Amino acid sequence: MSLTPEARAYLDAFKATGTPMESVSPEQARALVAPLKSRKEAVSEIRDIWIPGPEGELSALVYTPLIHEDREDLLPTIVFFHGGGWVVGSPKSHDGMCRRLCNAMEAIVISVDYRLAPENKYPAAAEDCYAATVWASKFIENFNGDPSRLIVCGDSAGGNLAAVVALMARDRGDPAIAAQVLLYPITDHNYDTGSYRDNGKGYFLTTETMKWFWNHYLESPEQGKEPYASPLQADLKGLPPAIVLTAEYDPLRDEGHAYASKLQAAGVTVRRVACLGQVHGFLRRLDLFPAAAGGTLIGVCKQTREMLGWPAVEWTGDSV
């Protein structure tokens, strides 16, 4: 289908005033990905915490949802990894998404401030995210979370990291992960796909920006063939059930489809969410995509709970 009106307006505004990432330094690019100024959806509580990482402590935000009186004693837990090409972004830049996921899933959300490239090259971000997930499996009960219902989730590069953490957990035998929720994930170091050819220019995320991200993340192009960089190159047997969301006008669309197909071929339960008329990154912009982003995130949470056989949550959300 054609672009949604919100996506068209977003692209027009970006074309008029936006700055391509590849035209600035990583430090300048980080300043462009600021926290959104729209009104924040209420949650019960947000805590700043520090957790042990492989090279020192990592900061994280822990969200507690607005909950019903008949809720379970312990809530499902989402370990969330923000997008930004492994170079930009932070828990604060994805605060709106995490608030919505927290309430719509009725879950504790831990948003991890992993180390960024190029200061910290691959696999630093992946190892940080894995360490945070192991920590959650051991200590999340202190925050009313259920370690037996542990989900990894992320958008874009965060989707890549969620997929990689699921691989690491399988390969290393710990922790047990109930599901992986991959939102327009990066799954392969490869620009030769139909969606790159069709959507690699003019739809916010471009081929040149993706090259800029990958070049900052990897020490060498050869690392892009490694499964913990490109999970599409991995053996996917024995992984937890997955939700894989893609956007129609996104250069990453085809690698998301390919990952879902490979998961299914490996015997993994997969639910696909194809967002027609949308561009990469729209889920973070609840201020500009209120119907699409709000409804989509709520739908993802409903599908995840249904896939795992958990009771439904009738959360409709408030405006943001």
250 is catalytic: yes
Which of the following is catalytic: 93, 156, 195, 230? 156
- If 0-12 CB within 10 Å is exposed, 13-18 middle and 19+ buried, where does residue 90 land? buried
In one-letter notation, the amino acid at residue 170 is R
Which of the following is catalytic: 188, 250, 254, 257? 250
Which of the following is catalytic: 82, 94, 189, 280? 280
DSSP secondary structure letters along 83-127: -STTTS--TTTTHHHHHHHHHHHT-EEEEE-PPPTTTS-TTHHHH
In one-letter notation, the amino acid at residue 229 is A
Q: Which two tokens stand for residue 138?
A: 């051991």
| The 242-249 sheet, strands edge to edge | 45-53, 56-64, 108-112, 75-81, 145-155, 179-183, 242-249, 270-279
12 is catalytic: no
- For residue 173, the cross-strand partners are none
Q: Give catalytic residue positions.
A: 156, 250, 280
